[in-house]
Chain A
C-alpha cells in the first residue's frame, strides 16, 4: 500500500500534526512518502525521520494553487492513500482532491487498523458521543486528528526528490485580497501541556480574568467555550471544541463549563480533566478525573493561591 503524506508547514517549521502521519502509516504497514511544498528546510526536517520526501518548489499561498499542486502530484504518484493532518487548511483542500480524483474521503480520523488488506478508519460523529468505523472502496483521502498518533523518532536521513508542477492560470478562482488581523496574541492550544478553560459559568469578563490568572500560574494556555467568546470576554482563538481546537494536554481544567458534546469532543484526548461546576449533575463531571462541586470564582481564587505555593515548592 502506497501512502502520500502532505506535510503542512509554517515558515521553516513543520506542523506537529503532520509528522504524526508518519506513525499513522506505520500502524497500517503502508509505504509512506512525505510531500513538502515550497520549503526546503522543512523537507530536510521531514527526511530526518527516515521517510522519503517529494519536494516541489511551487509557492502555494492560496488554496486553489495548493489543490492544483496536490492534484498533479497525486495523479503522478497514484497512491492508495493521501493523508493530511486535520487542520483548517486540510479541511478545505482534502475533499477537493477527493472529488477530483474520485477517492473516498474520511475526515477527522482518530484510529486506523488493517484487516485483510483493507484499512478500517475510526472517527467520532454526533459530537463525539458515537464513533464510526469506516471502510473505503478504492483509494482514499484521509485527514487525521492531531494527537491520535505518536510523534516519530529520528532515523537515518531519507532521500528528497524534487518535482516541478506547472499551475495553469485559470486554476485560481479565489484570491486573498486582504488579510485582517484582529487577534495579535498567538494561542497554541494544540500543543499546550496545561489548559485552563472557562465557560459561561464564569459569569463576566472580570471573573474570566481568574481563568487567565490560573493559566498563567500553571504556565498553561487559556481555553474557552463558545459563550464567553460570543460575549467578548476572550478572543475566538481560544475556542476549544467541535468548531474550535481539538486539544490533548496533560491537564485540562474546565471552569464553569457544562460539558456540551460540542465542547467535550475537543477535550477527550486530555490525560487528566479537572472540572469545577456548581451543579453536581453537570455532564462535564462524567468525563472529569476530578470533579469539584462549588462556586467557580471562589474555587479559582483559592486554587490560584494554592497553585502558586505548589509551583514555589
Chain B
C-alpha cells in the first residue's frame, strides 16, 4: 500500500505559548518547530503497517516556512520519502487553502511518480490552531472517501478497514480506497529516531516545489483579525497546611463560603 501522511509544522506543544504583549502575536521565541503531534501518531501507524505488510510511506508538508528539518525527522522515524511545497504565498492559508494546496501537491507527486496513493493520513487536528478541518476538506477536494478519528487501520480481503474511535470503543469502517483518514491517538506512542536513522535522514534529498509548480493559490476566506488574551481567572485562595486534616477543613470552609458546595 502506498501511504502518504500530510504533516504540519507547528510550535512544540510541550511549551505553553502566550501572546506577546507588544506585537499581540503568539510569542514563539525559543520555541522549536516540530511535526504536529497527531501527524506523528499517523506516521507511526503507517510505518507499523508498512513494516508488517510492505508498501511505502511518504510525508508531505506545504507551508511558508522552511520545514526541511521536520520532514527529515519524519524520515528518521520510518518515512521513506518526503515532499515539500514551500511558498511565501502560503503565509495566510486558511484550512480550505491548505486542503487545496495539499490536493494539488498530491496530484503532482502522483503524476511524477506515475503511481497513486492508496491511503492519505492526516492528524485529527493541529496543536496550534486546533481547527481539525484540513483532513475532511482534503477528502472533498480529492473526491475520496473519508474516515475521521482512526486508531488503527488494516486491509481485509482487499478492503481498507479503519477502526474509528467512538465514545464507547470503536466502529470498524470499510472505506473505498483511495481514502483520506484522520488519526487520533492510538494506544502506542511514536518511536524515537536512533543515531543511525538520524544520520541517514540528514543526507536525504527532499524534492521541493513552489506553489506555481503545483497549482494556484486561492485567497483565504477565513481571516484572522486579531489575537487576544483569554479573560484571566481571578487568582484563588491557597491552602498550605502541613496537616492534611486541617487542610481539608480549611478547604471545606472556603468552598462553603464560596457556595461551591
Interface residues of chain A, those whose CB is within 8 Å of chain B, are 63-64, 88, 91-96, 98-100, 102-108, 120, 122, 124-138, 140, 173-184, 187, 218, 226, 230, 236-237, 242-243, 250-251, 261-262, 268, 271-274, 280, 283, 285-295, 298-299, 301-303, 306-307, 310
Contact = CB atoms under 8 A, between A and B. Distances in A.
Contacts of A64: 145-146
Given A125-B128, A261-B16, A303-B248, A293 B225 contact: no
B239 A131 contact: no
A226 B141 CA distance: 34
Interface string B160-187: 0111011111111111100100001101
Contacts of B187: 230
Nearest to A184: B168
Given A174-B146, A174-B176, A290-B251, A104 B94 contact: yes
B2 interface: no
Contacts of B229: 130-131
B254 A290 contact: yes
A193 to B, nearest CB: 11
B136 interface: yes
Interface stretch (B52-60, B76-84, B106-114, B230-238): B230-238
A261 B134 CA distance: 23
12 contacts: A96-B140, A98-B137, A102-B96, A124-B230, A132-B226, A136-B223, A177-B161, A180-B163, A184-B168, A187-B167, A230-B187, A288-B236
A180 B170 contact: yes
Which of the listed residues B124, B136, B162 has the most CB atoms from chain A within 10 Å of its own CB? B136
A173 B179 CA distance: 9
A22 B162 CA distance: 35
Given A274-B251, A303-B251, 5 more contacts: A130-B17, A174-B162, A175-B173, A180-B163, A294-B244
A302 B250 CA distance: 12
Contact of A183 (B168, B247, B251): B168
